[in-house]
Structures are given as structure tokens and as C-alpha cells.
Chains A and B, each alone.
Chain A
Amino acid sequence: MATKTFTSGEVLTAADTNTYLANSGLVYITGGTLSGTATQFVGCFTSTYTNYRILLEQGTLSAAGDFCFQFLKSTTAQSTNAYQYAYARLTSGGAGANTTAVAPIGRWGMGANGVTNLMTMAADVIYPQVASSAAYVTAQGTSLLGGPVYLSSDGMCVYGVNDSFDGIQFMGSGGQSITGYATIYGYRKA
């Protein structure tokens, strides 16, 4: 395990820096703005990491709906009905709660349904590039419903077929234009 306690006066070498300081727990892979009807992050899942964290900031849709996601093989979005997902929604005002459970369809989503703006999301993606396993997503999102009321979405997705993917695509649930910014990190293995 790459941890070390340095002592007073010890020489910090380049090798020490590369091994013990530069390699944090989460390692930046790529990031970029969301635009158009879909935005892809190609080549972000590799054998370097097994598990990943995806952050979405200031996401908006041009019309009410959900943010949706598909895994990629190169630039080809995978739209088979292997995505099994569901999420629960709660409002900060306590005025309502509901769940969305969707029959397996060609993507997974997170719930800004009914609103268009301020979608943030933090998602852990497990095994997207491991060919011998399904891929698992656990995600938490926040949206602005209006006024000071916010909506929390907690959800999951399992791509229920063993397969290997090297990227992810962002889009709206109804062909909306999207904006925002996404960053993808890898969980350092050791």
C-alpha cells in the first residue's frame, strides 16, 4: 500500500513524490462541458482503474425531464434494454416524495423530472470496464424545484449483462438540449 510517513529532514525524492503525493485516492481522468442533445466522454474507463466517480455540476435541460446516461463502446452508445434502474425522490420542503422504477430500457436516468435546472449529481460507477461483470451505478442528485425548495434523488442502475465499456454519454430523457459540466475520476487501486 502506497503510504509513508516522512520524518524531519528527510529528502523528498521525485519517486516519493510520484508514489506517495501525486497519487491521491481519486485521480482526475477527464472533464468537459455538456452541450447539444448528447455529450460523450470517450475513453474514460480503462484498465488503469476498476471503479469511478462522476460529478455533474449545474446541469440543465431545455425542457423538463431527467438526465439520462448510456455506456459507450468507443463513440457508440449502448442502448440495449440491459439498464435496470430506479430512484427515490424527496423534497426539502417535505411536500412530496415518490419513486421511479422503470422497466429495463436502453439507458439509466436520475431525477430532475418536472424541472429543468440545477441538477448536480455524484455517481459511483463500479466495474464499467470489467468484461466479466455487470456494471453498477449508485448515484445521488439534487435539483432546484423552485423557490427555496430542492429535490433529492437517490438511485441505482445495474447494467445487467456482463460487458465492458470505455465511456459514458449524457443526454436528456426526451431529446432535450443539455448544459453543465462533468468530471470523471478514477479510484486509485493501491
Chain B
Amino acid sequence: MSKPQITIHYADGTPSETRDMTPEEIAQIPVEEDNA
């Protein structure tokens, strides 16, 4: 199963990137019931 990915755009002109989320970032993904 593929990992969740994150896209990052930089305002200073650094090229945008898309990469797999780190375990710490994955742990921060919200669950739906918070917004029911």
C-alpha cells in the first residue's frame, strides 16, 4: 500500500516537491469524526 504524500510549494522560488509523508506527518493526519 502506497504511503500518503505531501506536496510542498515554496514562496522563495525553491522548486515544489511531492514526497511520501514522514511517520510524524502521518501521525498528524486528522480523523473525520472531529468535523462531523
Contacts and interface: CB of A to CB of B under 8 A. Distances in A.
A66 B36 CA distance: 9
Contacts of A37: 4-6, 21, 29
B18 A35 contact: yes
Nearest to A111: B35
Main secondary structure of the interface of A (DSSP, over half): strand
A33 B5 CA distance: 14
Q: How large is the interface on A (under 10, 10 to 19, 20 to 34, 35 or more residues)?
A: 35 or more
B34 A36 contact: no
Given A39-B8, A77-B25, 20 more contacts: A29-B11, A30-B10, A35-B7, A36-B5, A36-B21, A37-B29, A38-B4, A38-B7, A38-B21, A40-B9, A41-B9, A41-B11, A46-B11, A66-B35, A75-B8, A79-B28, A105-B30, A106-B30, A174-B31, A175-B31
Interface of B: 4-12, 16, 18, 21, 25, 28-32, 34-36
